[in-house]
Amino acid sequence: MTDIVERPQGVASRGAALGVHATEEAQKRLKRRYASEWRFRAYGLTAILISITALAVLLWSIVGQGYTAFTATTMSLTVTVDPALADPGGKRAQDDLRTGDFQGIARAGLRSVFPDVKERSDLRALYTILSNGASDAIRDRVLDNPALIGQQITVRIPVASDYDMYAKGFAAKTPKGGESRLSPKQIAWFETLKADGKIHSSFNIWFLTSGDSRQPELAGVGGAIIGSLLTLAITLAIAFPLGVMAAVYLEEFAPKNRWTDLIEVNINNLAAVPSIVFGLLGLAVFLNVFGLPRSAPVVGGVVLALMSLPIIIIASRASLRAVPPSIRQAALGLGASRVQVVTHHVLPLAMPGILTGTILSMAHALGETAPLLMIGMVAFIVDIPSGATQAATVLPVQIYLWADSPERGFVEKTSAAIMVLLAFLLAMNAIAIFLRKKFERKW
Amino acid sequence: MMKKTFAVAALAAVMIPAAAFGQARDQIRIVGSSTVFPFSTAAAEAFGRQGKFKTPVVESTGTGGGMRLFCAGVGTGHPDMTNASRPMTKSEFESCAKNGVTDITEVKIGFDGIVLADKLGSAKMNLSRKDIYLALAEKVPMNGGLAENPYKTWAQVNPNLPNIKIEVIGPPPTSGTRDAFVELVMDFGCKDFPEIKAITDAKARSQACSKIREDGAYIEAGENDNLIIQKLNTSPDAIGIFGYSFLDQNKDKVQGSQIEGFDSTFENISSGKYPVSRSLFFYAKNAHVGVIPGIKEFITEFVSEKAFGKDGYLTDKGLIPLPDAERAKTRDSSVSMTKLAM
C-alpha cells in the first residue's frame, strides 16, 4: 500500500499505468483508510494507557498508604522487675509468672521517666503510650530468665498505635472543632521521649511474624501467611494430581462420544461457577456430613481444590493438545505402549504448560475469600496455626477483617497486607513465566 | 494406568478419614454479631495473652447466623458461645431447646450507640426521631393519608433545621445496625402520627414505619463503616449512620449529631439520655463447660472490671458499660452461669 503513495505522480506514462489508483477519489479513499488505521491504533493505545493508569493509581494508593506499616515505632524503656508485681507468690513457678502484672511493671518504668506526672487522670493519659505488647515483652524476658526478677532491665517495646500514627505523621492536623486522638499533653510527653532518644523507628518484623491482634501495633500477617500456605498446600496436593489425571484421560484415552462431550461441557461450566457456591458445598458436605472442624485449612484447601480443579483440567488439556501427534505416532511406531507414550513423552512435554496453568489457578485460589466465609475461615484468630486442622485464616480474609476495623492504625495495615498478598501473587506469576520460558518447546 | 488409578483412590481415601480428627477441640469457638465482634475479639485476645488457654476463635456471622449455629446442637462440632446485638428471641430459644441446647447463660455486656454524624465543620444537626423518620421514610403521613416522601431538604422536614439536601449514608438491610436503627428511630418517630395510628393492620403499619426511601436520599454503603466515614469526608452535606465505636475513633474527622437534644457522647449513651442505643449480649452453652477448657475463665475475664467496667479495655474499644449496679449483678449471674429461662 505504501508504495502507491510514494510513486511520483507527475510522470505521465506512469499515471496512465496507475489508472484508477491515481484519480482524485482514489486519493481520498486512501486518505480515509490511513485515517481509519490510525484511529484503530489510537483506540488500542488508549485502552492500554487507561489500564496502565488504573493499575498505577491502584498501586500508588496501596503503596502510599501501606508502606509505613513496614516500620514500627518502638520505645526503649528501663524497668525494675518488682518481685511484688511479677511474682506475688514468690515461688518463681512458670505458671505464676505468666499471670504477673507486667503491665504494672511497665507503667512503673514509665512513671520513673516522668516523675512530675502525679495526677490520676494525667497518669492514665500517660499510660496510653504503652501498648499491650509492653507486658508481653517483659513477661517473655522474665519467663526466659526468672533471675531477672528484682533487677533493672531495658526492653524495646512497640508504642501504642495512636502514637505510632502520630510519629508517622498521620495525626498531624486536626480540623477545627474536632478532637485529636492525642491531647497536647500526650504529644508533649511523646516529644520528650523522642528528644531523649528513647523513640526509635525500625523495620516492623512483628508485622510479618505475629498473628492477628485487636491492637494495630501488634497485629501481623504471620498467622494469615501460614494459613494461606497450609491451605494452598492442600489445594495443590488434591487439585494437581486429580486435574492432570482427568485431563490425561480425557485427552489421550477417552473415546469421543456423547458422554465425554457431556463431561467436557460440565467441566467448562464448573470453571465458571461463582466461588461462593463451592463454599456452600464445603459447608454442606465437609462440615455437616463429614464433621470436619470449622475454620480449618484442611477444609479450605479441599474447597479451593474443587474450585481450581476445572481450571487445571482445562489448562492441562490445552497443553496436552499442543503436543504434536507426530511425537505420539513416533513413540507408538517404536513399540511403546499407550501408557508409555503418555508418561514418557506426552506428559513431560506438556508439563510446562500444565504447571503454568496450575500456578495461575493457585494464585487465583490464594485471593479467594468468598468460599472460605461459609466454612468459618473469616474469623479473628490470634494463635498461629501449627497444622492443617487448626483454626486459621488466610491473607485476603485478613485484609477484609482489617478493612472493617474501627481503629485508625488498621488503615496502613490493610494496605500493607495487600502489598504482601500482591508480592505472593507476583512471585507465583513470575515462577509461572519462568517455567514457561525455560521449558517451553516450540515445534 | 493402574498405578494412577490407585493414586486417585488413595487420595479420595485420605479425604474421608480426615473426619476423625475433627472432634477434639481445646479452643473456645465464638460466633455471632458483627457489632459485638470488636469487643469479643478484644476480650479473647486479652484472655489468650494470659497464656493459660488458647485464644478463642471469633467469627463474625451476624446475630441471626450466630444463633442458628449456636442452637444447632451440643458437642464440640458446635460453637460454645454466640454474640448478639439483641436479646435471644423466644423462637430461637425454642429451636435451641429442640436441639438439646437447654442450658444457656445470658450475659449482657453493655450498650452500643448508633450515631448520625457529619463531617467536622459542617452544620451540626439537632434532630428528633420524628425528623429522621420524615426525612427517610418511603411514604410519609400527609393530609390524613400516606404519600410518597416529598421532602428534599432538612428545612422542609423541620423549619428549624438547616436548608441542606437530605443525603444519608447508612447500612444496608442485611446489617444489624440497620435493624436497630429502624427499630429505635423510625418506629419510634412514626408512632405518634394520627395517619399511622389510623392503620389498623399491624403489618401494614410496621411497613409504613420501617420502609426506607429508595429515591437516592438514603444511600446504602455496604457493611463497612469505615467506608461511610470516608464518604462523609468527601461530601460535607451528607449524614452517616454507624456505630458509636467508629465515631469514637474518628472524632478528628466527623461529629455526631444531637438527637432529641442530646449529644452522642459516652456519658449520654451510658446514662440512657441519648435515645438511640441498644444492649449487647453474648450467650454461652453451659453444657460445654468442662468439655472445652477455659469457658468459665473466659466469661470471668469478659465480665471483669478491667474489661467491661467503666475504665476497662472494652470501653476503649467503644463499648458503653452497664450502670454500676447492673454490672455487679451481671457479673454474679454470669460467673455462676445462671441458666436462662424464657
Contacts of A295 in chain B (CB under 8 A): 29, 57, 59
CA distance A31 to chain B (A): 49
The percentage of residues in chain B with a pLDDT greater than 70, rounded to a whole number, is: 93
| Other residues' Cβ atoms within 10 Å of the Cβ of residue B315 | 19
Looking at the domain assignment, is residue A216 inside a domain? no
Option in A136, A176, A238 nearest B49 (CB): A136
The domain spanning residue A371 has which CATH number?
A: 1.10.3720.10
**DSSP H helix total and E strand total for chain B:** 17, 13
What's the pLDDT at A16?
Answer: 53
Note whether B48 contacts A383, CB cutoff 8 Å. Answer: yes
Average pLDDT over residues A253-276: 92
Note whether A194 and A82 are same-domain residues: yes
Strand partners, B292: B289
Average pLDDT over residues A145-161: 88
Residue A443 confidence class, pLDDT cut points 50, 70, 90? low
Contacts of B121 in chain A (CB under 8 A): 175-177
Option in B16, B223, B253 nearest A178 (CB): B253
CA distance B314 to chain A (A): 11
Note whether A194 and A324 are same-domain residues: no
What's the pLDDT at A83?
Answer: 84
Task: Count how many domains chain A has.
Answer: 3
Which chain B residue shows the shortest CA-CA distance from A392?
B57
Contacts of A378 in chain B (CB under 8 A): 59-60
Contacts of B22 in chain A (CB under 8 A): 290-293, 296, 389
Option in A95, A99, A376 nearest B59 (CB): A376
Q: What are the cell numbers at B248?
A: 469514637
Contacts of A391 in chain B (CB under 8 A): 27, 29, 57
What's the pLDDT at A238?
Answer: 96
Average pLDDT over residues B104-108: 93
CATH architecture of B28-112+278-335: 3-Layer(aba) Sandwich (3.40)
CA distance A53 to chain B (A): 23
Distances from the Cα of A388 to the Cα of A235, A302, B21, angstroms: 11, 11, 11
Note whether A193 and A247 are same-domain residues: no
Option in A176, A242, A293 nearest B121 (CB): A176
Note whether A410 and A386 are same-domain residues: yes
Looking at the domain assignment, is residue A339 inside a domain? yes
Alpha-carbon gap, residue A143 to A97, rounded angstroms: 7
Which structural domain, as residue segments, surrounds residue A156?
A: 69-209
How do the domains of chain B map onto residue ranges?
Answer: 28-112+278-335, 113-277
| Other residues' Cβ atoms within 10 Å of the Cβ of residue B2 | 7
Which chain B residue shows the shortest CA-CA distance from A215?
B42
Note whether B246 contacts A291, CB cutoff 8 Å. Answer: no
Tell me whether domains B28-112+278-335 and B113-277 share a fold: yes
Q: What are the cell numbers at A299?
A: 477444609
Judge whether residue B4 has pLDDT over 60. Answer: no
Option in A171, A382, A407 nearest B55 (CB): A382
CATH topology of domain B113-277: D-Maltodextrin-Binding Protein; domain 2 (3.40.190)
Note whether B38 contacts A214, CB cutoff 8 Å. Answer: yes
Alpha-carbon gap, residue A294 to A285, rounded angstroms: 12
pLDDT in tens, A192-228: 999 988 899 989 888 999 999 988 999 999 999 999 9
Residue A55 confidence class, pLDDT cut points 50, 70, 90? very high
Note whether B120 contacts A292, CB cutoff 8 Å. Answer: no
Note whether A295 contacts B27, CB cutoff 8 Å. Answer: no
Q: Quote the mean pLDDT of chain A.
A: 88
Note whether B255 contacts A178, CB cutoff 8 Å. Answer: yes
Note whether A214 contacts B317, CB cutoff 8 Å. Answer: yes
Note whether B59 contacts A176, CB cutoff 8 Å. Answer: no
Note whether A291 contacts B225, CB cutoff 8 Å. Answer: no
What's the pLDDT at A176?
Answer: 62
Option in A135, A171, A379 nearest B59 (CB): A379
Looking at the domain assignment, is residue A217 inside a domain? no
ipTM value: 0.79
Note whether A391 contacts B16, CB cutoff 8 Å. Answer: no
Note whether A385 and A401 are same-domain residues: yes
Q: Which of A35, A66, A97 is the last residue of a domain?
A: A66
Q: What are the cell numbers at B209?
A: 414505619
Contacts of B319 in chain A (CB under 8 A): none
Q: Which of A66, A85, A102 is the last residue of a domain?
A: A66
Judge whether residue A39 has pLDDT over 90. Answer: yes
Residue A265 confidence class, pLDDT cut points 50, 70, 90? very high
Which chain B residue shows the shortest CA-CA distance from A176?
B121
Q: Which of A209, A240, A262 is the last residue of a domain?
A: A209
Note whether A45 and A117 are same-domain residues: no
Note whether A53 and A151 are same-domain residues: no
